[in-house]
Amino acid sequence: MQRTRTPGSPLLAVLAVFLVAGAGHAAAQTRTAQGTTTAVSASSLIVKVANVDMAFALDGKTVIEAPGAGGQTRREGGIKVADYIKAGGHVVVTYREANGAKHAVSIRPVASAGGTDPETKIAAGKVKAVSPDSIIVQSGSQDLRFGIAKSTRVLYAGAGTATREAGGRIAITNLVNAGDGVSVSYFDAGGALNAAEVRVTVKAR
């Protein structure tokens, strides 16, 4: 992921890629919050979650996951958060807490403020195996198996180009490999872990 030069400069985005189905160490203090945006600037975001305003700090590492963000990044070298995140819109924020402050890792526009969807959790680690319909991640002392569906997104610099070259759809096995470092956003459905998002953080060499 590229970084911006100053806190007030455009934020860079990684293209979210939808997959074809069927074809370390847990992330401490990494959480998600879903709600309605009440204010946004180049350096901060305020989201009302269950009638409570939550403030998030933004910086050059914050990823904006929105249609068109990847294209603008390629054309212009960056994006402004306010171009894609509007007051009154609903978002899911993935964030980490440090020294009492909440730092946004990623922001994704969604259709609703939430409240009825399964709780989204985060697991980080190293990929042990990957197939078109599942991925196994070593997270701490556990091997976690996540199901992959058509709605699962992969976040990885260069994924947009690979997807276009594949005709608009691509299998996760073409983007994620054993040994890669990943962060997986998932929900538990009756004991089955289903990946909503797979973010490649470190590519295996």
3-state DSSP call for residue 143? strand
pLDDT bracket for residue 168 (50, 70, 90): confident
CA dihedral 165, 170, 172, 175 (to 10 degrees): 10
* Residue found under tokens 């904006």: 64
- Every domain of the chain with CATH number 2.40.50.320 lies at 16-27+118-202, 30-110
> Average pLDDT, stretch 98-127?
80
Tell me the CATH architecture of domain 30-110. Beta Barrel (2.40)
Q: What are phi and psi of 12, to 5 degrees?
A: -90, 150
> Average pLDDT, stretch 91-115?
83
For residue 71, what pLDDT is reported?
67
| CB crowding 173-197: b at 16 or more within 10 Å, else e | bbbbeeebbbbbbbeeeeeebebbb
As a whole number of angstroms, the distance between CA 132 and CA 46 comes to 37
- Superfamily for the 16-27+118-202 domain: Copper binding periplasmic protein CusF (2.40.50.320)
3-state DSSP call for residue 164? helix
Q: Which of 39, 78, 85 is nearest to 60 (CA)?
A: 78
pTM: 0.47
As a whole number of angstroms, the distance between CA 174 and CA 35 comes to 33
As a whole number of angstroms, the distance between CA 10 and CA 67 comes to 16
Give yes or no for a contact between 137 and 146, defined as CB atoms under 8 angstroms apart: yes
Q: What is the pLDDT of residues 12-21, one digit of tens each?
A: 444 444 444 4
Type of residue numbered 31: R
For residue 117, what pLDDT is reported?
52
Give yes or no for a contact between 100 and 57, defined as CB atoms under 8 angstroms apart: no
Q: What is the pLDDT of residues 43-66, one digit of tens each?
A: 999 998 877 788 999 988 888 888
Instruction: Kindly give the pairing relationship between strand 192-202 and strand 181-189.
Output: antiparallel
> Average pLDDT, stretch 165-187?
87
For residue 20, what pLDDT is reported?
46
3-state DSSP call for residue 160? helix
pLDDT bracket for residue 121 (50, 70, 90): confident
3-state DSSP call for residue 194? strand
For residue 24, what pLDDT is reported?
38
> Average pLDDT, stretch 78-103?
86
